[in-house]
Structure 1
Amino acid sequence: MARWLRFFPKTLTGRIMLVTALGVLLVQGINTVIRYRAFQGRSVVEAASHLAATVANQMELIDAGAKDSLIRKRKVAIWITDRALQPPSFSSTDELAERVAAPLQSIYPQIDSVRLSKGPESNLPQNMREPKFDHQGRPWISRGGKMPKEVLLLTLKFDDGRWVHAILGVRPHYSQPLTLIAIETLLIYLAVMIPLLLVIRQISKPLRQLNDRLAHEGLASGAPPLEPRGPDDIRSLIDSFNAAEQRVNAMLTEKDVMLGAIGHDLKTPLASLRVRIESVEDEDERMKMAATVDEMVHILDDILILARLGKSAEALVLTDVSALVEMVADELDGEDRLKVVESAEKCRAAVRPVLLRRALRNLMGNALQYGGKAQISTACDGNQLSITIDDQGPGLTTEQLTNLFEPFARAESSRNRASGGSGLGLTIARAIARAHGGDVVLENRAEGGLRAILRISKKLG
């Protein structure tokens, strides 16, 4: 079942078109069966009527004919015998026989009984298979060797003991009716599927634009409102989305104003405290106090950056990400502990450089702090760009790999920033990656150490 589901269309347009096409095909299949059976019945009725008319017209010859004689009249062969004929696999058509018998017996009372049966021509006695004519009176050989699959046998019993058997091939079911049905089906498909496709496109196009806005920019993009298009239901959906986007932007703007005020109100006393610390005479105590203040400022900066990532004011810039990686590595490392592997091609993408630099600094800083050394590589794969950082540290447990992206979670339990950090570095890196349509993944390397992979979309926005 799952093997066949992979061929099932994934899009709304594809599924509607497929279901409609299968529905039309089912209806046409039923219609074909009904019409084909009606054609079969009509062929038998035509043959029976022709048989009865021919026998009635040839009654004088039948009365004068001797037993075991043969009368040929165009497509009908009439045998006069002294015995009944019941070929195998022939089925009686009693209702049709009654319809044929009534006019014959009313004109010729000497007819005791009338029997009509249908069966394969090959089951007739050999002498009764000659000659072979079609329903138009032409020899079957003239029809490219096609033989009638079925024949109609009209059996009359006279009061003098004679039996008269009239044979006529039932009109074969040639491909002409099926060809007409195929043409009709094609016309129905064209008449139904083309307008349906146009209607679905009218619905799916604004939905696709709405999905692209959410996937690439999100509710807090700050982009102009989407233009309502399509049917009224879709227009109402787009209007609701625009209203929701405006409310989200208003809340984020209010949040940024609040965060700016909080940052200012907190940093001002911290700066004042930093100045007062300089008056402390004990140098060791002064350095510890200054380090504590610096840590508080750094943590406050991390919190503000993380809180503002939902609505970044930085514009997208087409950037050579490979060069940006090398630049950040040079800034962090002066001892060649970060080895940057040269990319085979230039990996360009529309990114927010300042934010991406911050994410790279956090990941590379962790690699230096916990692994001592690291190797960095950049790769482009279709619409995705990935930056891989392999360190030589001890790696992480499965629980740590899952929990480290939570705010204030760290591989070390120490609250000392020199050893454990603020616990927001990976959270910020992942938030920045997701703001670029990607993610950050951590995994242990088979040869030892930790691998951090930062992925971003090359078609952001």
Structure 2
Amino acid sequence: MFGGLRFFPRSMTGRIMLVTAFGLLLVQGINTAMRYQMLKGRAVVEASSLMVAVASNRLDFGSVEPVNRLGGRPSVRTIRATGPLNTPGFHSTEELAERLAMHLQSVYPEIQSVRLSVGPAAALPDALKPRPHTYRSAPAHEWRANSSRGEVALLSVKLADGSWLHSAARVRTRNILPPIALLIETVLIYLGVMIPLLLVIRQISKPLRQLNLRLEHAGLASGAPPLNPQGPDDIRSLIDSFNAAEQRVNAMLTEKDVMLGAIGHDLKTPLASLRVRIESVEDDDERTKMAATVDEMVHILDDILILARLGKSAEELVLTDVSALVEMVADELDGEGRLMVVESVEKCRAAVRPVLLRRALRNLMGNALQYGGKAQIVTMCDGNQLSITIDDQGPGLAPEQLTDLFEPFARAESSRNRASGGSGLGLTIARAIARAHGGDVALENRSEGGLRAILRISQKLG
């Protein structure tokens, strides 16, 4: 749902926290709007009560100025007019107007109708706007600052003689919801919800991270203890199920290793006997051919056993200087300078199985020498990834072969010197070893010619 959002958090914790924060912000916004309307309605009622008092005084005392009658509070202005006022932008409050009409008409039967509306002060006639110089003795307030700002309530009363009595009062909304108080309230709500939520999410995500780490390094650490079930019951159940599945897989791999060891022994024993018998053959050419055939069978058998045992290697992970290991393998394979190892700027260290990694490097470097003649080797480490790049000077491969050659017993076409004598398992073994180290092997044609083999180890470097 959120995959296309570039800046949306990718972690479960980040997504839950962000969605919750957005939900709280939305709810707080709705709550603020509802409270504002409620408090504004209360302010309108207060202004209406004041206007009713002023109108009552006007009706009781005739021309007596209501401001003086109210103790000098310049909150209400009252005028008498021949008809209703034209006040664009005002909206009527029918329910409150009906209640005011019932109250006023019960005291003053001559009142024919009552209207109450709320709108911008700027739409009022000048006669209803305050005159600040008249109220020099009054306290400072918004009417004196700017008579056209904010909202006002307008009470219009129609009298028996057809004239209208209009009263206007400021709807005091400035301090209904003080921003500081609203901010403090919002922060407290966020702290009260987000902190407990974060603690719960961490309790859930921690065992999930451990489970994910174990899955990423499946097959890398032999003899690792079962994961400790943590978190809620459903997470604990998931970890228990994983531990049980891991035990079953390890048991099957152990059984497979035992079976392969027995098969290898049973096959190598007659091959060894056959190799001894070959020495009794008198024809040198025939004896040489027969010996080469037996040696090839032994080599293929060794490759098959290595490939089959990679799922559960007995070799432990060792923190190794991979750059030095690459140079060592290159020196073993080539004494003529055909393999040029580019020295790394920094030593690339990683937890690897040196014997297996050496086998993968020998297979890749051997292919580069056999099919490319010369090769350049570069070792790089960046973050949690280590890569070994081998560039040869051969003819390259057809695009479809770049992936097909990783299949067991697959061989290159004549463009890569098909008469190599290999078993067709070299690249398969190299990829299996790389994947056992949390990485992979890839082939690609270079633009300047030749083939590039990249062995990556995606795990935390030492």
The normalised TM-score by structure 2 is 0.91
Identity %: 73
Question: Any conservation in 2 of the 1:441–1:453 contact (CA below 8 Å)?
Answer: yes
Q: Structure 1 pair 247/129, CA: closer, same or farther in 2 (3 Å)? A: same
In 2, Cα distance between the equivalents of 1:146 and 1:310? 85
1:5 aligned counterpart, secondary structure? coil
Q: Which residue of 2 aligns with 1:120?
A: 120
Q: Which residue of 2 aligns with 1:299?
A: 300
Instruction: Measure how far apart 1:248 and its partner are.
Output: 0.8
Instruction: Measure how far apart 1:142 and its partner are.
Output: 8.1
Q: Structure 1 pair 402/92, CA: closer, same or farther in 2 (3 Å)? A: same
Instruction: Measure how far apart 1:24 and its partner are.
Output: 1.6
Q: Which has the larger displacement, 103-112 or 319-328?
A: 103-112
Q: Which residue of 2 aligns with 1:446?
A: 447
User: Within 5 A, what are the aligned runs for 1:161-200?
Assistant: 161-174=162-175, 176-200=177-201
Q: Structure 1 pair 288/395, CA: closer, same or farther in 2 (3 Å)? A: same
Question: Any conservation in 2 of the 1:411–1:420 contact (CA below 8 Å)?
Answer: no
In 1, Cα distance between the equivalents of 2:307 and 2:3? 44
Q: Which residue of 2 aligns with 1:285?
A: 286
In 1, Cα distance between the equivalents of 2:223 and 2:210? 16
2:320 aligned counterpart, secondary structure? strand
Q: Structure 1 pair 33/430, CA: closer, same or farther in 2 (3 Å)? A: same
Q: Which residue of 2 aligns with 1:383?
A: 384
Q: Which residue of 2 aligns with 1:234?
A: 235
1:211 maps to a residue whose letter is N
Q: Structure 1 pair 316/287, CA: closer, same or farther in 2 (3 Å)? A: same
Q: Which residue of 1 aligns with 2:396?
A: 395
In 2, Cα distance between the equivalents of 1:277 and 1:301? 21
User: Within 5 A, what are the aligned runs for 1:305-324?
Assistant: 305-324=306-325
In 1, Cα distance between the equivalents of 2:352 and 2:280? 45
2:302 aligned counterpart, secondary structure? helix
Q: Which blocks of at least 5 consecutive residues in structure 2 are unaligned?
A: none
Question: Any conservation in 1 of the 2:385–2:461 contact (CA below 8 Å)?
Answer: no
Q: Which residue of 2 aligns with 1:273?
A: 274
Q: What CA RMSD, in Å, does the superposition of the two structures yield over aligned residues?
A: 2.6
- 1:97 paired with 2:104, answer no
Q: Structure 1 pair 413/254, CA: closer, same or farther in 2 (3 Å)? A: farther
Q: Which has the larger displacement, 251-260 or 327-336?
A: 327-336
Question: Any conservation in 2 of the 1:140–1:146 contact (CA below 8 Å)?
Answer: no
Q: Which has the larger displacement, 279-288 or 153-162?
A: 153-162
Instruction: Measure how far apart 1:138 and its partner are.
Output: 3.7
- 1:51 paired with 2:46, answer no
2:112 aligned counterpart, secondary structure? strand
- 1:373 paired with 2:374, answer yes
In 1, Cα distance between the equivalents of 2:213 and 2:280? 58
2:372 maps to a residue whose letter is G
Q: Which blocks of at least 5 consecutive residues in structure 1 are unaligned?
A: none
* 1:1-21 Cα shifts (integer Å, max 9, x gaps): 989612111111111112222
Q: Which residue of 1 aligns with 2:155?
A: 154
Instruction: Measure how far apart 1:131 and its partner are.
Output: 2.9
Instruction: Measure how far apart 1:141 and its partner are.
Output: 5.4
Question: Any conservation in 1 of the 2:120–2:150 contact (CA below 8 Å)?
Answer: yes
- 1:21 paired with 2:21, answer yes
Instruction: Measure how far apart 1:442 and its partner are.
Output: 0.5
Instruction: Measure how far apart 1:139 and its partner are.
Output: 4.5
Instruction: Measure how far apart 1:147 and its partner are.
Output: 5.5
Question: Any conservation in 1 of the 2:57–2:66 contact (CA below 8 Å)?
Answer: no
Question: Any conservation in 2 of the 1:351–1:460 contact (CA below 8 Å)?
Answer: no
2:89 aligned counterpart, secondary structure? coil
Q: Structure 1 pair 351/413, CA: closer, same or farther in 2 (3 Å)? A: same
In 2, Cα distance between the equivalents of 1:280 and 1:232? 72
1:267 aligned counterpart, secondary structure? helix
Q: Structure 1 pair 90/412, CA: closer, same or farther in 2 (3 Å)? A: closer
Q: Which has the larger displacement, 90-99 or 173-182?
A: 173-182
